[in-house]
Amino acid sequence: MIKKLWAKFDDMDVECVCEPENKKCTEDSGCEEYVVKFTPINRVERNSISFSPKHLADRRRKLTNELNKTTKHIKDITKNIK
């Protein structure tokens, strides 16, 4: 999401952030207009990650299979190009 906001910084820290229509600060308070992009953080729940040997072996096997399929595709494409 990209938004236009007014913000005031104290060195590297944000002191104040206001939307243009809800601006609480005055022009001479040190706030300036910025365009900002908000990027959502997709967090993985800690309990959903398993480090058991069986889980890791299964995951490695799946990734190896995917890598082999991709490698085969690349070889086929290279062969067709030649």
pLDDT digits (tens, 9 = 90+) for 16-61: 888 777 767 766 777 888 898 988 887 766 666 667 888 888 989 9
**For 1-82, where are the alpha helices, taking DSSP H only?**
53-81
pLDDT tens for each residue of 2-28: 888 888 888 888 888 887 777 677 667
- ∠ CA 24-26-27, nearest 5°, is 135
* Amino acid symbol at 45: E
Query: Does any domain span residue 71?
Result: yes
Query: With 90 as the cut, is the pLDDT of residue 67 above it?
Result: yes
If DSSP codes are grouped into helix, strand and coil, which group holds residue 49?
Answer: coil
Residue 59 covered by a domain: yes
Residue 44 lies in a domain: no
pTM of the complete model: 0.41
Segments forming the whole domain that contains residue 7: 2-37
d(CA 70, CA 30): 55
Does residue 67 form part of some domain?
yes
Cβ-in-10-Å burial (0-12, 13-18, 19+) of 41 comes to exposed
